[in-house]
Amino acid sequence: MSHTTLSQPCVHPPPLPPPITHTHLPYPLSLHTQFPPIHRRSKLAAAPLKNDSWVWQRRKRAFDTPAERACTVFCEGDLLQAVQLAGIFQDSKEFVDMPMRVDPEIILDKFSTLNPEAKQDKYTLSQFVNEHFLPPGSELVAIQPQDFTDTPSVLSSLTPNSTYYGWAQYLNQAFASLTRKVSEDVFLNPQRYSILRRTHPVVIPGGRFRESYYWDSYWIVLGLLACDMKDTARGLVQNLLDDVANFGFVPNGGRIYYLNRSQPPLLSEMVLALLEADEALMKGKRVVNVYDFRERRWRMIFSFLCFLWRAFVYKSCSFPPSPLSVPPSSSSTKN
């Protein structure tokens, strides 16, 4: 009995890219320390961005001051580590959402004058934070969208006083209570904020989430269109298109500490939803091709049993303590 063999040769992964140096980074070197790009010399590899690509140029420009300056407080450094490890806030997201009263360089200089014991004292750190930072989320102003209405057309398709009718009313009112605009000082002193500048109002999830999020916005846009709030929906999409223009991609959320990762690409679906609702909504707008960046930046090549498998990976590479949470291992190490 003869054995059948495969005549087609094994398919091997392409050569690994060269090692990344500071000249290859899409952002300054200090941010690379906290947010290294996905690049490992193993069976798992990622293609780096070319220095002359439009994505690289825009990300480098976006990470220049003032975002770079704000990141020295909100993304990395001794102050962030001290505050998060001290456990001043039950939710570690509180601190990184607090606007600075003065420029970050002044705050870091004052923090450097504290003695080592004071930098580990919870009461001293709490006093320092209260003296130099404003309440979290105070850079956002609650507004009611101009196109909001208590009686959107979707209600006419539902039975009055029914469960669905009341639910639709509740969701419609949520848009009025969760819409925010960025304060003017964010544009005047962006180096003092972790929030990204937004030229159009945003609809936030609420609770501890005081900023807009990428794929959350897709469902919000669909809801806004169903509630006849086309202008607000267009503004949300335009904010994300501005992110692509500024950073070369849409970050996970509307804060600088989200600039090291993204979410599943739904921007094109949002643009399509606007066009299907009213073609005039995107008239005169230049919609960039975001697929090329998604393909190049988030593509991971897996070699398994001589076959290539392609996947899109959405994760963050950083060193603890992260801006959003402190792993239990870090707290136990401190104690």
Of the listed ranges 180-189, 211-220, 262-271, the one predicted with least confidence: 262-271
pLDDT band at 247 (very low <50, low <70, confident <90, very high): confident
Q: Interhelix angle for 214-226 vs 163-177, to 10°? A: 120
Residue 22 located in a structural domain: no
Q: Is the pLDDT of residue 330 over 60?
A: no
pLDDT band at 302 (very low <50, low <70, confident <90, very high): very low
Residue 109 located in a structural domain: yes
pTM: 0.71
pLDDT for res 76: 87
- Which candidate, 294, 313, 291, places its Cα nearest to that of 302? 313
Residue 197 located in a structural domain: no
Residue 72 located in a structural domain: yes
Residue 88 located in a structural domain: yes
For 74-116, write each residue's pLDDT tens digit.
988 999 999 999 989 988 899 999 999 999 999 999 999 999 9
Burial bucket for residue 36 (CB in 10 Å: 0-12, 13-18, 19+): middle
Residue 205 located in a structural domain: no
- Percent of the chain with pLDDT strictly greater than 90: 48
Work out the average pLDDT over 250-259: 91
pLDDT for res 95: 94
Domain count of the fold of the chain: 1
Within 10 angstroms of residue 39's Cβ, the number of other Cβ atoms is 17
Residue 53 located in a structural domain: no
Residue 34 located in a structural domain: no
Q: Is the pLDDT of residue 313 over 80?
A: no
Burial bucket for residue 199 (CB in 10 Å: 0-12, 13-18, 19+): exposed
Residues spanned by the domain of 112: 63-138
pLDDT for res 310: 55
For 190-211, write each residue's pLDDT tens digit.
999 999 999 999 999 988 899 9
